[in-house]
Amino acid sequence: VALVDEFQDTDPIQYEILHRIYAESEQPLILVGDPKQAIYSFRGADIYTYLQARDGAGGRRHTLDTNWRSTPDMVQAINSLFSFSPRPFYDHRIGFQTTDAAERARDQLTEQGRPGAALQIWRLPAEDGMSVETLRQSVAETTAAEIASLLSADDSRQLRIGARRLVGSDIAILVRTHTQASSLAMALAAKGIASVRSSQQSVYWSAEAEALERVLIALLEPHRETVLRAALATPLFGWSGAEIDRLNEDEPLQSQVTRQFFDHHQVWRSSGFMVMIRGLMTEFSMESRMLEYHDGERRLTNLYHLLELLQQHENSQRPGMEGLLKWFSQQRQSSAQDEERLLRLESDGDLVKIDTLHHSKGLEYGIVFCPYLWDESAEKRSDWPFLFHDPLDNDAAVLELGSTAMEQNRVYRQQENLAESIRLAYVALTRSRYRCYLPWGLTKQNRHGALCWLLHSRGTAQPPQQLSDWLSTAKALQPSDDEAQLSALAASAGAAISVSPLPEFEVAGQLSLALHPELIPARHFSKAVPKHQQVASFSSLIAGLPEDLPDHDGIEANDNTPAEFDSRLDVHGFPRGAGPGSCLHAILENLDFQQNDQAGLQQLVEEKLLLYGIDLQWREVVVQWMQVLLTTPLNETGLHLGQIPASQRLNEMAFQFPVSAFNTRQISQLAERTRFSHAPGLIAGLGGLGRDSVDGYLKGYIDLVFESQGQYFLADYKSNWLGMDYPAYHQQALTEAMASHHYPLQYVLYTLALHRYLRLRIPDYDYEKQFGGVFYLFLRGMRPQGEPGMGIVQERPPVEFINAMDEMIGEPP
């Protein structure tokens, strides 16, 4: 048996597939659908396909006639409203069959012990010069005031569902547009009522996404004054025009702001996106600022959602700073609407829900407000091309591009719009279990709409067959006609429908509701966290630092160098310290080693020099320096970086793996036992380090991993300054530098990490055959014509040592 649910939302292609499969088969095909709820034509759903399939079923049609959602009074109200016109859904092929409420025990909504009318129609005041916008605002304020009264803490109305009082989550407001949703949320907030909105919109289309993109651009390029100011103007920073203008006159302030952005840029590059953004939000009090807005929870929810998506992409793809921003910008332009993109609820507490009419289909709520079903605007006659269904051609879908029959085809389109608008009203009015509020009144703009048809198309004769006849009738309607029809409707429903003027409420203060539980102060944590439960790294092992960062040579400049040396425009005079080291790393990370584009290299170097605040006088020096690095042999085979294509390298490879009972003393013992103690600087480099064992995780970052002729190598860039010329980078000097900075421990950990990585990904992996070794590249000492090994430390720990390390570290218990 094949059962197709929601079949009223099918399209011709889907039905053709089903028909071909099952028309001649003996297998049962059950199509379940309600044509009265066909409201998704904008998604391609085709009600005419449903009607064709229904007619093709002949007498094999079955109808559900019991309503299990709503109370008997609510069912009676809907029965009366949609039986009021002989042709309630405009299209004569879609009729209305009354239903019965299921006979079962259920709670009732009572007010002072008595049930009220299930459908409460609020009659709007005659326009009499009142603008539609004023009327919309009045309806929003009245809706908010009624909800405040329903939830009032003084309990003057004694409203109960069964034995309990009402809470916000019993109430839903259904709207057409997000603009209407915002207006109602503001009206509720003015009454002290918190609300929550669901949406089918992508979070990437939100104002918060636009603001965040501007901020990320400024963080990526903090030297660019225009993008920096654009970031400050976003709600995330909240700077006014006057405050931004101050930057033109206040140079210290300009320098301070630039430095703040530059510092966060450095954190992003070294520690990752989430560490950076949390620090930025804390420094600039972004969360508290956003919560000052009336829809602050909505804004903050969107921001958290976006940050989570960015973090997920960074963790899974490792795109780097530029790549992450590029990906985010692409998502902002995408029309995709997969689940992870959709706006999330601000809260799952007992809050009033604001939902769109389309999204509410299939849902149910205790009390429903439909404040804007009366507010319909006619389609502009200039709107074309448009899609319509040709009744002269078996309701075939036709795209009108400007034919001679366009005016008649526009009438067909208007008939379809009216019919779907009625179906949308039906969906909205049938969502409630207990009560529905419906403002209504004739305006100049809504006489072509759904409610006008439902109330005024009845009479002794059949409803008008031609749309033009109906529009002429509707245009001539007077307020007295409306009052008469509303009275007749209420009389037909007994006590299930009431009609009253739009209520007027006295101005009251904010509603005092316990919308959130009382916060309990956090207990103070006084115990020490054992180190064996923490994440260890090369940095923490050598200096007790809390976490490892990509090693960008945080070696401070030597202030004792001769003054004339600082003026030399060569690799030895290039600025020293963490910032310049990070700049060189960034260039190498983004450089295509095999490119021959001189202009592209110059642009990359200039961009990074500006980014790290280094004078552009160094541009040509660094350009030539990069060319030297790419052509310097790394070993006796002549291997050099310029031979490595982008497809065979990984930049800033992050790793993290579990460790158990790990300490540096054991590494020394393993080195002695496995004949690796002779490695230059290893034992000396391990001396004096912390002896505490580590149980938990070991993490780090490898500057470069690459493959050449079937072997895998790792390389680490070192911008350390060892002297005023190339001879200062001879092997003995490099050995001493390696030992003094504990680099042997670093490459041992990196080798183990890469060994484990390759073992998991390469079938029949063999360390002896496939691990090529380690290169420590002291960038200031490398040159093609130098003596062999100048500026380069090459090492390859023996397999016995690495296997012993692997076994020693093991898995945590």
Question: Which of the residues are catalytic?
Answer: 716
Question: In this structure, what are the phi and psi dihedrals at residue 310, rounded to the nearest 5 degrees?
Answer: -65, -45
How far is it, in rounded angstroms, from Cα 806 to Cα 631?
35
Residue pointed to by tokens 């839903």: 172
The total number of residues shown for the chain amounts to 813
Amino acid at residue number 174: L
Coil, helix or strand for 95? coil
Euclidean distance between CA atoms 379 and 541, whole angstroms: 70
- State how far the Cα of 161 lies from the Cα of 366, in Å rounded to an integer: 9
In 3-state terms, what secondary structure has residue 717? strand
Residue 808, C-beta contacts closer than 8 angstroms, at least 6 positions apart = 661, 662, 666, 670
Quick one: which H or E segment has residue 320?
helix 320-333
The encoded tokens of residue 463 equal 């409803």
Looking at 612-652, list the stretches that DSSP marks H as alpha helix, in order from N- to C-terminal side: 619-631
Cβ contact 368:217 at 8 Å: no
Scored b (16 or more CB within 10 A) or e, 668-677 reads bebbeebebe
The residue among 386, 437, 431 whose CA lies nearest residue 413 is 386
d(CA 632, CA 641) in angstroms, rounded, equals 8
Cis peptide upstream of residue 385 (ω within 30 degrees of 0): yes
Tokens of 371: 């404040």
Dihedral of the alpha carbons of 705, 707, 713, 717, in degrees to the nearest 10: -40
Rounded CA gap, 569 and 168, in Å? 70
**Single-letter code of the amino acid located at 386:** F
Distance CA(184)–CA(553), nearest Å, equals 56
Q: Name residue 581's amino acid.
A: G
20 φ/ψ angles, rounded to the nearest 5 degrees: -65, -35
Q: Which amino acid is at 150?
A: L
The secondary structure of 6-57 as a DSSP string is SGGG--HHHHHHHHHHHTTSSS-EEE---GGG---GGGT--HHHHHHHHHHT
Stretch (H or E) spanning 538 = helix 538-543
Residue 407's closest CA among 467, 452, 473? 467
Strand partners, 792: 777
- Tell me if 735 sits within 8 A of 685, measured CB to CB: no
Measured in whole angstroms, the distance separating CA 673 from the mean position of its chain's CA atoms is: 53
C-alpha pair distances (Å), 150 with each of 42, 271, 356, 758? 36, 51, 22, 65
Q: How many angstroms separate the CA atoms of 223 and 262, rounded? A: 8
The one-letter code for the residue type at 521 is P
- 415 neighbors 465 (Cβ within 8 angstroms): no
- Name 145's Cβ contacts closer than 8 Å, sequence gap at least 6: 191, 503, 505, 508
Contact (Cβ atoms closer than 8 angstroms) between residue 793 and residue 778: yes
Asked if 774 and 747 touch (Cβ cutoff 8 Å), the reply is yes
Contact 451, 373 (CB under 8 A): yes
Residue type, 813: P
The Cβ of residue 632 has, within 10 Å, a number of other Cβ atoms equal to: 21
Please name the amino acid found at residue 104.
Answer: R
